[in-house]
A and B are shown apart, each in its own frame.
Chain A
């Protein structure tokens, strides 16, 4: 447990020294700021029947940030250690493979959550400027952020596995991006096939639809289970991949 905490701290602080992390952060806040601008102008026009949080978490901009930021944050996790050879010193320290994977994930996930913090300011601004009180529903706010936390966890876990399979950060980033795209568009399967099974699968998988639901404040336990389960599955796979060097 102690080793896990030590590694987690090292991973998380590592991001605050890394230019790639700051570039990701800047990009993220820029795009989210733009989203906020559109959101504010829609509200100013007084278009009725639109959930405020839907505009923030259900927009294409949200997905754009995920697709860019997640590969950038996860690509170096293992690929860099493999390239420089420090994976060997890391894995011969008295730490279990599961603790290494857990700590790396916890590190990048913490940074991801910290990245979302400044967006709370948007809400504070909105709250301060708005005549109506409150301009948004607290349930929807919580739902939106829970959704961002859940989809982020899954995508970061996918990125971690991608980084583990190569010593080249670029390959890790591109593989991660490709898998995210594949997953994202599996939610639009119903546009290709009208088969009831395809529609059902799309309905269950679609991260886009999940986010729209979450940001309405409707937290569907099926979706929560799906994200937590899938995240666990990818982290478990990562541990097995790391252990696979021991398979005879």
Chain B
């Protein structure tokens, strides 16, 4: 459905997207993750045909976005970041306008608008003025608008930003249902959302892909990783020097909490280092008040890949 090959986008003085390549198949729901400013929005704008690529080829449903922009736009529903709408229009009026603009045939328009309103929980809000709606309702209007012409591909740039937990759950449910018939590329910062809705995950950092794999495979990989947390009363430099020599230990972080040091790191779960850590601390006569192990989550993966701390977790799944 989407083929991106060697996509690069430069703005004056800045490379936003750097030699990005990925594919999204039919009816796939793909989570597009990355820290702020990593090039997610730029990539999505290029896919939607709003911005041109500086280099590389982007194809949607077999059409080159640069050569056949109108064919591509007919097939996608794009929800930009912050969900821009006309504040002076009523919900129904806006949906009718956009449906007509997107070429929904007149006899089907009424029915189609009723469907998307139902889907997005707007059935009773048709007469309300958009400018007076709450953020959550505006987000629903935006989502209804992207769906109104029944596009093959949905590109959603942070669709749940600014929503309350109930609304997030509803949107997640909605995306889950839509994923049965549509291809969806979704960017978000809420990782539990990705775990729940996306079959595949792309993580980008500074315009490059740092991880791309099936969500469950990444999760399985992460479950094989463990995060160890401990609180120790010990001289910081001695502790750091010793731990620095331990193999298979990554993302070491030491924080100070009064006299105590709170320490955390990742390591393969099979080599549970807790007893070794305990004996070592006891042999030095230091104090230990907490020591536990947690299975890794997608969040751990995200942090270890996109944080600037050295990461040994590159190429997961390989």
Contacts and interface: CB of A to CB of B under 8 A. Distances in A.
B146 to A, nearest CB: 9
B52 A3 contact: no
Nearest to A83: B84
A92 B146 CA distance: 11
| 6 residue pairs, one from A and one from B, having the closest CB atoms | A85-B84, A94-B73, A6-B100, A246-B52, A92-B48, A86-B84
A93 B102 contact: yes
B84 A248 contact: no
Interface string B52-94: 1010000000000010001001101010101011111000000
A92 B84 contact: no
Contacts of A93: 73, 98, 101-102
Contacts of A91: 49-50
A91 B66 CA distance: 14
A3 B101 contact: yes
Nearest to B49: A92
B103 A94 contact: yes
Interface of B: 45, 48-52, 54, 66, 70, 73-74, 76, 78, 80, 82, 84-88, 97-98, 100-103, 145
Interface of A: 2-3, 6-7, 10, 14, 17-18, 84-86, 88-89, 91-96, 245-248
A86 to B, nearest CB: 5
Contacts of A10: 97
B86 A245 contact: no
Contact of A94 (B45, B74, B88): B74
Nearest to B55: A248
A95 B97 CA distance: 13
Q: Is the interface of B mostly helix, strand, loop or mixed?
A: loop
A95 B66 CA distance: 14
Contact of A248 (B48, B49, B54): B54
A85 B103 CA distance: 22
Nearest to A14: B88
Given A10-B97, A84-B84, A86-B84, A2 B103 contact: yes
A42 to B, nearest CB: 44
Greatest chain B CB density within 10 A among A86, A92, A245, A246 is at A92
Contact of B73 (A14, A18, A92, A246): A92
A89 B97 CA distance: 12
A246 B53 CA distance: 8
B274 to A, nearest CB: 51
Given A89-B98, A96-B70, 8 more contacts: A2-B100, A86-B86, A89-B84, A92-B76, A92-B78, A92-B80, A93-B102, A245-B52
A11 to B, nearest CB: 11
Contacts of B103: 2-3, 94
A94 B50 contact: no
Contacts of A245: 50-52
Contacts of B66: 246
A91 B69 CA distance: 10
A84 B70 contact: no
Contacts of A89: 78, 80, 84-85, 98, 145
A89 B54 CA distance: 22
B7 to A, nearest CB: 13
Nearest to A103: B101
A82 B51 CA distance: 14
A247 B53 CA distance: 9
Contacts of A85: 80, 82, 84
A6 B54 contact: no
Contacts of B70: 94-96
Contacts of B98: 89, 93
B87 A92 contact: no
A92 B84 CA distance: 12
B101 A7 contact: yes
A88 B145 CA distance: 14
A64 B15 CA distance: 49
A85 B84 CA distance: 5
Given A17-B88, A85-B82, A85-B84, A92 B101 contact: no
Contact of A6 (B49, B97, B145): B97
Contact of B80 (A17, A88, A247): A88
